[in-house]
């Protein structure tokens, strides 16, 4: 019996000399499935669609056709799923990016809203300095003595830039005082002892006058108050909304809100001899070498100076200014309310010079150094000519320097401290 051929397509038994299948017309020349890369690719190949003459379609084995169609359908579904997955991942990335951007924007807006707007309205400052009290203070070992400028600022009652930045900390040479919404605390300088709360009042713009502490009380609508340094003898000295209280040469200088008017005033510590020196909305008041330096918000934010009795008013810088810090016979200030580049000039307004290109706020001075924060709250310090710039801390607002230690309000609500003097 002659050898027979089996059709590789339909399985029909054909004569040995047949070239094409008598049943389906498929070629009988190849009796083995093709091999690609070592695998049987025929399993996934489609059956021939025409006979040898190309006259009619051949369906082949119905079961195989159904199987192949199922495979094709599954492949199509898989492709659709892959496309949907890629689209979904891209969408989630966009949503995540948008959500993160919204969160960062909300955080910035929240941080801005939580900070006191010293240059806007009096109402904005009323709830300032609401942060958690520390129970201990850092011990600072100082290797350098105060320079004459720092000592002079201390003897004046409190540093002028401390006052501008809120004055919520003060050093009288023995005790360090600071305040938060829970009260006023004090501790002996360079002591490991716990701080003691001496009062429940919420104080800022603190000044020492002899054995008494003068301050503006947020709990009493910013009235000027005083008490003994141990917390006894509390008394309201002047019951109007006041800010930037500064003691100098037996006078208390401050700004008050009188109806719709802001006024720079002075009076004796006992509340007598009250006088209005200048009717204007001022901020960043510094008293230095018998002159009052301030930003006049009623005159385009110009930087002005006048004598201690209000006479001799002079505009030193007519452009926008803020964050005044007067030290070392020099006025340091930020110019332009948007860029806030750091400048310096002489006390008479001459020699204007930019010393730092970039946002500078909360400028303060200690022992030959300036410190300031950028728009993100990163704290820097540098020499008075702007050189030697170094980063010190992050998320800082309203830095106050006492006894060589910088206190700063953190976004978390705590006050942190660290030494500026190595």
Distance separating alpha carbons of residues 331 and 65, to the nearest angstrom? 91
Three-state DSSP class for residue 54: coil
Cβ-proximal residues to 175 (8 Å cutoff; 6+ apart), any chain? 186, 187, 188, 189, 229
**pLDDT value at residue 420:** 57
For residue 89, the model assigns a pLDDT of 46
pLDDT of residue 313: 97
**Greater pLDDT, 379 or 101:** 379
Q: Which residue has the higher pLDDT, 333 or 5?
A: 333
Render pLDDT for 325-361 as a digit per residue (tens, 0 to 9).
Answer: 999 999 999 999 899 999 999 999 999 999 999 999 9
Rounded to an integer, the average pLDDT of 163-181 is 89
Lowest mean pLDDT among 87-101, 119-133, 397-411: 119-133
| Between 321 and 19, the higher pLDDT residue | 321
Q: Which residue has the higher pLDDT, 281 or 17?
A: 281
* pLDDT score, position 10: 65
3-class DSSP state for residue 52? Answer: coil
Q: Give me the pLDDT at residue 103, please.
A: 37
Q: What is the pLDDT, as a whole number, of residue 31?
A: 37
The Cα–Cα gap between 359 and 361 comes to 7
Number of H helices, E strands in the chain: 4, 29
Range list of H helices, 121-233? 122-125, 148-155, 160-164
Give Cα separations from 219 to 30, 215, 224, 261, 359 (angstroms).
100, 12, 11, 22, 33
Provide the token pair at 121.
């309205």
Using the predicted structure, report yes or no on whether residue 46 has a pLDDT greater than 70. Answer: no
Residue 157 burial by CB count (10 A; 0-12/13-18/19+): exposed, middle or buried? buried
Query: Residue 127's pLDDT is what?
Result: 28
| Count of C-beta atoms within a 10 Å radius of residue 341 | 16
In angstroms, the CA 62 to CA 64 distance is: 5
pLDDT on residue 56 = 33
Domain 122-419, second-level architecture: 6 Propeller (2.120)
Whether the CB-CB separation of 51 and 25 falls below 8 Å is answered with yes
**Domain layout of the chain by residue ranges:** 1-60, 69-114, 122-419
3-state secondary structure of 133: coil
Decide if 312 contacts 304 (C-beta within 8 A).
no
pLDDT at 30 over 50: no
Across 314-321, average pLDDT: 97
Instruction: Calculate the average pLDDT of the chain.
Output: 75
pLDDT, tens digit, for every residue of 378-421? 999 899 999 999 998 888 888 888 887 778 766 555 566 666 55
Across the range 231-259, mean pLDDT stands at 96
Task: Please tell me which residue, 129 or 378, carries the higher pLDDT value.
Answer: 378
Half-sphere exposure of 409 (CA within 13 A, CB side): 24
- Stretch 205-231: mean pLDDT: 95
How confident is the model at residue 416, as a pLDDT? 67
Does the pLDDT of residue 2 top 60, yes or no? no
Q: In whole angstroms, how far apart are CA 59 and each of 24, 55, 65, 115?
A: 9, 13, 7, 80
Residue 147 has pLDDT above 80, yes or no: no
């Amino acid at each position: 019996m002659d050898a027979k051929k089996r059709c590789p397509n339909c399985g029909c038994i054909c004569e040995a000399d047949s070239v094409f299948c008598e049943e389906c017309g498929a070629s009988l020349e190849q009796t083995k499935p093709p091999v690609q890369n070592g695998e049987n690719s025929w399993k996934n190949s489609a059956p021939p669609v025409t006979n040898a003459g190309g006259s009619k379609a051949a369906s082949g084995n119905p079961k195989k056709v159904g199987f192949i169609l199922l495979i094709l359908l599954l492949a199509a579904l898989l492709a659709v799923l892959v496309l949907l997955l890629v689209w979904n991942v891209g969408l989630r990335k966009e949503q995540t990016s948008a959500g993160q951007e919204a969160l960062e924007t909300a955080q910035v807006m929240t941080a801005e809203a939580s900070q006191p707007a010293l240059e806007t309205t009096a109402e904005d400052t009323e709830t300032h300095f609401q942060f958690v009290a520390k129970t201990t203070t850092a011990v600072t070992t100082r290797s350098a003595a105060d320079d004459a400028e720092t000592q002079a600022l201390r003897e004046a009652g409190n540093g002028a830039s401390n006052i501008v930045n809120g004055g919520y900390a003060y050093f009288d040479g023995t005790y360090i005082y600071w305040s938060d919404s829970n009260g006023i605390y004090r501790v002996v300088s360079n002591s490991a002892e716990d701080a003691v709360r001496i009062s429940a009042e919420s104080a800022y713009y603190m000044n020492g006058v002899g054995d008494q502490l003068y301050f503006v009380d947020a709990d009493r609508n910013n009235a000027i108050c005083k008490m003994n340094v141990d917390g006894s003898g509390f008394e309201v000295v002047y019951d109007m909304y006041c800010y930037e209280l500064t003691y100098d040469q037996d006078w208390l200088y401050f700004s008050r809100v009188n109806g719709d008017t802001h006024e720079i005033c002075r009076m004796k510590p006992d509340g007598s001899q009250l006088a209005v020196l200048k009717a204007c909305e001022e901020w960043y008041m510094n008293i230095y070498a018998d002159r009052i330096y301030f930003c006049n918000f009623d005159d385009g934010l110009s930087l002005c100076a006048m004598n201690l009795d209000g006479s001799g008013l002079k505009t030193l810088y007519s452009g926008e200014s803020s964050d005044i810090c007067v030290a070392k016979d020099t006025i340091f200030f930020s110019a332009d309310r948007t860029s806030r580049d750091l400048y310096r000039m002489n006390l008479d307004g001459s020699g204007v010079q930019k010393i730092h290109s970039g946002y500078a706020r909360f400028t303060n001075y200690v022992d030959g150094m300036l410190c300031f924060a950028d728009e993100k709250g990163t704290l820097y310090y540098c020499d008075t000519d702007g050189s030697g710039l170094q980063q010190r801390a992050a998320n800082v607002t309203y830095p106050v320097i006492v006894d060589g230690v910088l206190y700063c309000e953190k976004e978390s609500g705590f006050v942190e401290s660290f030494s500026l003097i190595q």
